Chain A
Amino acid sequence: MSAPEMNTHEPEILRRRELLKRAAWLLGGAISAPAALAILQGCSAKDADTAAPVALKVLSAAQLALVAEIAETMIPKTTTSGAKDAGVPAFIDQVLDAVYPKDAQQRFTAGLADFEAAAKAADKSFLDRDPADRAAFVKQSLEAALAGEREPKPFILMARELTLLGFFTSQVGIDENMDYVAVPGAYHGCVPLSQMKKHVYWE
């Protein structure tokens, strides 16, 4: 079997944005959050005045902006797509709403506030830092969380799990990083890695 035709990555972002817009319409009252939409589109906040409204479920626009930059710091856009390209910020809001119980949602938002407070206490707001500074702060947070108590799961590890889940269930995340074949046709149990294209879709 040949690999399926690769799709372009643009529709992924569009699809999730459309989904959000449709959800907002169905609910009858959209929450206007131009900054949030700007993040979904990967453009700057000041371009967002013309954007359509988007419905956020759990996070405020300000919280979404912070979550987006944390996710993007973990998986940044380089020569390949980053977390924002994959629609991870909106994905996190949706999953928090539908999948997580209320207490976990609250732990997430409280943890997000603590994260920002710690950033400010150490130096300055997370969003005011440059990418290298953000990376250092996220890495430090992760290392502290991994060394400490894991129950209940610390905020930064919740954010990380959601970022990875959102990224690796998106089309850009899969197409650019894995050899995903929708219909492999057969299983071959022991193949030299040298004969394989790249990271096969293992999940």
Chain B
Amino acid sequence: METNSFDAIVVGSGMSGGWAAKELTEKGLKTLVLERGRMVKHGEYPTATKNPWDLPYGNRITQETRKHKYVWSRTGYPTPANEHWMIDDLENPFVEEAPFDWMRGHHVGGRSIMWARQSYRFGPLDMEANGKEGVGVPWPVTYDEIAPWYDKAEIFAGISGSADGLYQLPDGKYLPPHDLNCVETDFKRRLDDKLGRKLIIGRCANLTAPLTHNESPQRGTCQARNLCIRGCPYGGYFSSVSATLPSAERTGNMTLLADQIVYELIYDNDRGKATGVRVLDAKTGNQTDYFAKIVFLCASALGSAYIMLNSTSARFPNGFGNDSGELGHNIMDHNKPGSSNASVEGYLDVAYTGRRPNGFYIPRYRNVGKDKRNYLRGFGYQGRAARAGYARFNDSAAIGEDLKKEFQEPGPWNISMTAFGEILPYHDNHCRIDRDKKDKYGLPLLVVNAIVRDNERKMEEDMKNDAAEMLTAAGFKDVKVRSDSYNVGNSIHEMGTARMGADPKKSVLNKFNQVHACKNVFVTDGSFMPSSGCQNPSLTYMAFTARAADHAVSELKKGNL
């Protein structure tokens, strides 16, 4: 049907889908963007300007929310201020063979609205490790090849940070860094002096100054409210709703449809190509087919894997493009088995103003240079120092006038930090489809089975010991290291279900995110990652999506797709 035909289809409107939409439309392609959740336009953030007293229940999660958003609730994320971005897990079931914290946001913008905005490059250390160590498959792309695309992503998105000259964490094109606070600045100096470890300000997608380009007139600078997860009416941080989708919209080439659940790729056996996607309307249940020359899957690592696994044909009986048998396998995330904190004496005559939507970062130092451990890869810490608020009185006997006097003074300083470690790509960590179990749309359920293994457990020892060592070396008191049980998925950095590699027998995608066995389908969300690094991965999805879109259009023009 004529009206259902486009040059390109993008499945998903989050971090990757937004970039695919922007790049493809800017290059002139009539592009259909399909989002399974509801419509959200920049500025439509219902709780963004609410004051603390405007929110019910002191902004505490209710029992009703716990029941419905039970996967999300394991993490403690949902509150009345943000839960509208978090899906109802009861209505969107999947099968957990091992507990898996699959946190989904079904709406235009996806999780790019709720992300924590930490934006780090993967460097040569990360991208060469698989090849050197014989783990998984080697990255088919070098750091030098992707570096210009990181530049492009950082400049457009607006990433703030400092250039620190670290081999393990390449510098980028940054807006001015946020301040470290007084305690963090001293912590940085002591860590360097005593342990030779570096502490830097977080590199985050918040505009600490106006953008250096004029492609996003709808965006203003960060107002230091630190309410980002609600959506920012100022456009002070990057999301697909605030940045990439408006750019795509302005080209006049984008058609964005919400409430459209893509569940299958349509494959033409004779032409050896995908011709489009099959869609259910989330509200009416009606089925529609949409057609295009190229398809970008940007539905999240498990979301895209689901669509591919569910797309079987004579050519692909085990899932779309699954000649290698790796589709759905090698699920990774970041290992986050606990956090640590300490009290800080002194600094009572200094504080900070504004609420910084960012913290400090201690980049990986394990298995870097001459350091050699009994495990592979490494971890970084994200944390902050702050003065305690009123909650410190939960454990005090002060009442009456004494209490009132005390809570008008700022509390003592404390410091906390959490390690994020690399998880290796294990074939056994996988998802698959169970065709006997169905959701309310009649679609089969995804089964997920992923756990942390020996390498991550060995790393966990260092994560805890090193945290205690650093906080103690800095002279902080009451150092506490907390162990949390960790489910894969909890860091919300799921990756690896359709990894890229040079060898089609061992990977699903080639170096340009094209399905090896079907070159007009591109997968550019976390699915493609051959290894997880220990850095937050979103910036890498942006860079690879932009590069894949560039390649797609150039190949299309050459008649190769």
Contacts and interface: CB of A to CB of B under 8 A. Distances in A.
Interface of A: 1, 12, 73-76, 78, 80, 91, 94-95, 98-101, 135, 138-139, 142-143, 146, 157, 160-161, 164-166, 168-171, 174, 177-178, 180-194, 196, 198-203
Contacts of B352: 187-191, 200
A3 to B, nearest CB: 11
A131 to B, nearest CB: 9
A184 B194 CA distance: 36
A20 B509 CA distance: 57
Given A139-B397, A187-B224, 4 more contacts: A76-B400, A78-B401, A189-B184, A191-B351
24 contacts: A75-B404, A76-B404, A78-B401, A78-B404, A80-B404, A98-B56, A99-B61, A101-B63, A139-B399, A160-B393, A169-B55, A181-B354, A182-B49, A182-B51, A183-B225, A187-B352, A189-B178, A189-B182, A189-B185, A191-B351, A198-B408, A200-B410, A202-B387, A203-B391
Contacts of A99: 57, 60-63
B559 interface: no
A12 to B, nearest CB: 7
Most central of B57, B396, B408 by chain A CB within 10 Å: B57
Nearest to A100: B63
Interface of B: 49, 51-53, 55-64, 178-182, 184-185, 223-225, 348-356, 386-391, 393-397, 399-401, 403-404, 407-411
B387 A95 contact: no
Given A164-B394, A171-B51, A184-B224, A191 B353 contact: yes
A192 B356 CA distance: 17
Nearest to A94: B57
Contacts of A169: 52-53, 55, 58-59
Contacts of B399: 73-75, 135, 138-139, 142
Contact of B179 (A75, A135, A190, A194): A190
Contact of B410 (A76, A165, A199): A199
Contacts of A164: 390-391, 393-394
Nearest to B388: A202
Given A74-B399, A146-B397, A203-B391, A189 B408 contact: no
B191 to A, nearest CB: 17
B369 to A, nearest CB: 30
B349 A142 contact: no
A157 B394 contact: yes
Nearest to A188: B353
A98 B57 contact: yes
